[in-house]
Structure 1
Amino acid sequence: MSPRRCLLASFVAGALLSPPRAHAQPPDREGVRRAVLDYVEGFYDGDSTRLLRSVAPFVRKIGYYRASPDSAYRPSAMSFPDGFMSYARGVREGRNHTPAGAAKEIALLDVQDQTASAKLTAWWGTDYLLLARHDGRWMITHVLWQSPPAR
């Protein structure tokens, strides 16, 4: 057998004897997008069910807001479930208002099999979200946000 045929035969034999490769599942981008949508619409509509479905019980939400465009940023933390549910209740009772046509832009930054990150542009500013899969569901574990920057 010629060296070329021998090399070809070795390659074919190696390919046939190699164990089959597991096919990786594509990232669950839609599941991550749904979790972020539940989060923002939970706040917009005052829907505590959507917040409970999309936010991990141990979530950390820290933000920086300004009372006016010319004031300095101030840190703010929102507790879960108390702060989240209080805000949702305020929307339902008319104390908190979502502006008509409020922004709701979701950008998925990275989606892997267990963790993901997303950017949400909402009427209150920008949220950077970290998510993890818990019991088969995507849940938000961390939120870092800020009011819109001065223009």
Structure 2
Amino acid sequence: MKKYFLLFTIALFSFQLQAQTAQDTLDIKRVALAYIEAQHNPNPKLMESALHPRMVKRSVFRNKTAQKDFVSEYFTENMIILAETYNVKGDKFPKNPRKEIKLLDVSARTASVKLLADAWIDYMHIVKTNGEWKIINVLWQYNDVTQHE
């Protein structure tokens, strides 16, 4: 019995070492919010602070002419430019935009997050490198899938 208790204690201690801290949770949410808020209020520096330099953002669209699906890809540089230009006139989002963050899974160095925004859903992979959480992958779609054509 003592042997099993010792094994359980070691396993529990090991799990605690791998689990996220309260600060990690805050930082993960902060990064996900920075991603969407940089688009709400054009802020390329805020976007850049949230993204890993090798981030890729993807979605699936339908080419009506060819009747084939294709994957669109955007990279960190594209997203920084988007943050600077997309909502310059302030007409792309409602006055109080939706920005709901759901932590799907968090480990010591990786996290999966779901962002529910007004017109779309973003699934993000966030990675902790050099002590900082950064978005490294985004898979998104419009809520209205007909917009993917």
Kindly indicate whether the alpha-carbon contact (under 8 Å) linking 1:131 and 1:138 is maintained by their aligned counterparts in 2: yes
For structure 2, the 5+ residue unaligned runs are: 63-67
1:47 to 43, 50, 66: 43
For structure 1, the 5+ residue unaligned runs are: 1-6, 67-71
Cα distance in 1, alignment partners of residues 80 and 91 from structure 2: 12
Cα distance in 2, alignment partners of residues 99 and 115 from structure 1: 32
Change (3 A) 1:102 1:92: closer
AA at the equivalent of 1:42 = A
Cα distance in 2, alignment partners of residues 107 and 75 from structure 1: 25
Cα distance in 2, alignment partners of residues 99 and 86 from structure 1: 21
Determine what percentage of the aligned residue pairs are the same residue. 26
> What TM-score do the two structures reach when normalised by structure 2?
0.73
Cα distance in 2, alignment partners of residues 138 and 58 from structure 1: 13
Change (3 A) 1:125 1:65: farther
Report whether the alignment pairs 1:128 with 2:123. yes
Cα distance in 1, alignment partners of residues 105 and 121 from structure 2: 17
The aligned runs of 1:67-146 (5 Å cut-off) are: 75-81=71-77, 83-91=78-86, 93-94=88-89, 97-146=92-141
**Cα offset, 1:99, TM superposition:** 2.3
> Which structure carries more helix by proportion?
2
RMSD of aligned Cα (Å): 3.2
AA at the equivalent of 2:46 = R
2:17 to 16, 24, 40: 24
AA at the equivalent of 1:41 = E
Kindly indicate whether the alpha-carbon contact (under 8 Å) linking 1:118 and 1:128 is maintained by their aligned counterparts in 2: yes
Kindly indicate whether the alpha-carbon contact (under 8 Å) linking 1:105 and 1:120 is maintained by their aligned counterparts in 2: yes
Judge which range, 86-95 or 103-112, deviates more: 86-95
